[in-house]
């Protein structure tokens, strides 16, 4: 049997992550599904195996809300000293109406989407370096265009608004993806870092928020807007995964590029290259966020 590419997808037990993992397995890649839910992760592996004969899929538990768990995950993976051809940083949450935090005290959405993936990717650099053409794809959202990084209150301890926290986390992910590619290029490291967003995809990401009792009228309006957007403009998770898969597998996709749906307002449609927000292109802010992420995670990059 020919050697299969090794791909790792975070948040792969359901939604976009599952669809990406299933599609990669169907095209012949060996896929590691990483997720905090062991039960759903094992179920996802069985579903993929049932759908694709000979699928090479495994589940590995990963809690991105704990840097200790991230380090243990990488240590276990590194025992095999295999090349990692593709890393899809997909995991994320829609924050609760009440502020929650990671094991280290970071605001939960920011801690998972950015800091957990920042540490994971850095620790996986040796595995990525063993691959001939490694790619890292970071999954962001349309809402990155409406966000800013609150450097003076990065963990929303002074002022917590769940939607603002979510928007910030998704902008931070895009900034990380662009900065990683720029730094890799300057260092002569062959890694390509890309970003993608799914448009509006019908996944379970908002279910927990929708079931929470609202604290204010604004909370009710945000839930109503989310439900309306998914109902009126949404597409399936499989369709939403297409820009991510394009960034991950297309021969003509290159580092530093950003992909999303090509339809009306990027809600859905065929994958195409899209424009990052002005905030995401702010090089000094990206550099500041990078150094802050190193400080908060205690992880240092080789470039």
Question: How many beta carbons lie within 10 A of that of residue 135, not counting itself?
Answer: 23
Is the model's pLDDT at 90 over the cut of 70?
Answer: yes
Contact assessment for residue 62 and residue 38, using Cβ atoms and an 8 Å cutoff: no
Q: For residues 145 and 283, what is the distance between their CA atoms, to the nearest angstrom?
A: 16
In sequence order, which ranges of the chain are alpha helices (DSSP H)?
15-26, 38-51, 67-78, 108-110, 117-123, 125-129, 162-187, 207-210, 217-233, 237-240, 242-249, 283-297
Phi then psi dihedrals of residue 159, to 5 deg: -145, 110
Using a pLDDT cut of 70, give the percent of the chain over it. 89
Token couple for 73: 């995950």
Contact assessment for residue 270 and residue 276, using Cβ atoms and an 8 Å cutoff: no
Quick: pLDDT tens for 176-196: 999 999 999 999 999 999 999
Q: For residues 268 and 53, what is the distance between their CA atoms, to the nearest angstrom?
A: 30
pLDDT interval class at 26 (50, 70, 90): very high
pLDDT interval class at 2 (50, 70, 90): very low
* pLDDT value at residue 202: 82
Token couple for 49: 């195996």
Average the pLDDT over 269-288 and give the result: 98
* pLDDT value at residue 4: 85
pLDDT interval class at 27 (50, 70, 90): very high
* pLDDT value at residue 234: 78
* pLDDT value at residue 21: 98
Average the pLDDT over 119-138 and give the result: 98
Measured over the CA atoms of residue 116, residue 179, residue 164 and residue 206, the dihedral's sign is negative
Is the model's pLDDT at 299 over the cut of 70?
Answer: yes
- Enzyme catalytic residues: 166
Quick: pLDDT tens for 150-179: 999 999 999 999 999 999 999 999 999 999
Average the pLDDT over 79-83 and give the result: 95
DSSP 3-state of 96: coil
CA atoms within 13 A on the CB side of 191: 31
- Map out the domains of the chain with their CATH numbers: 6-294 (3.40.50.720)
Across 24-28, 119-123, 222-226, least confident range = 222-226
């Amino acid at each position: 049997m020919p050697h299969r590419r090794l791909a790792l997808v975070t948040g792969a037990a359901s939604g976009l992550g599952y669809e990406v993992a299933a599609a990669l397995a169907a095209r012949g890649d060996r896929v590691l599904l990483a997720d905090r839910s062991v039960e759903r992760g094992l179920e996802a592996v069985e579903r993929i195996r049932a759908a694709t004969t000979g699928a090479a899929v495994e589940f590995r538990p990963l809690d991105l809300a704990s840097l200790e768990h991230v380090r243990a995950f990488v240590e276990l993976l590194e025992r095999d000293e295999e090349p990692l051809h593709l890393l899809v940083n997909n995991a994320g949450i829609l924050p609760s109406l009440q502020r929650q935090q990671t094991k280290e005290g970071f605001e939960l959405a920011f801690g998972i989407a950015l800091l957990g993936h920042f540490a994971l990717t850095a620790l996986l650099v040796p595995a990525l370096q063993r691959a001939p053409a490694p790619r890292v794809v970071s999954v962001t959202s349309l809402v990155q265009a409406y966000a800013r990084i609150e450097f003076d209150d990065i963990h929303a301890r002074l002022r917590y608004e769940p939607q603002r926290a979510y928007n910030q986390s998704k902008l931070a992910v895009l900034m990380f993806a662009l900065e990683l590619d720029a730094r890799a290029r300057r260092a002569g490291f062959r890694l390509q870092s890309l970003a993608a967003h799914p448009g509006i995809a019908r996944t379970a990401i908002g279910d927990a928020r929708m079931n929470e009792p609202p604290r204010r009228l604004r909370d009710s309006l945000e839930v109503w807007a989310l439900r309306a957007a998914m109902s009126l403009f949404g597409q399936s998770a499989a369709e939403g995964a297409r820009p991510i898969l394009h960034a991950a597998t297309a021969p003509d996709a290159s580092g530093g590029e950003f992909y999303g749906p090509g339809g009306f307002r990027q809600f859905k449609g065929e994958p195409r290259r899209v424009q990052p927000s002005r905030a995401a292109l702010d090089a000094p802010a990206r550099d500041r966020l990078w150094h802050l992420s190193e400080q908060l995670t205690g992880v240092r990059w080789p470039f």
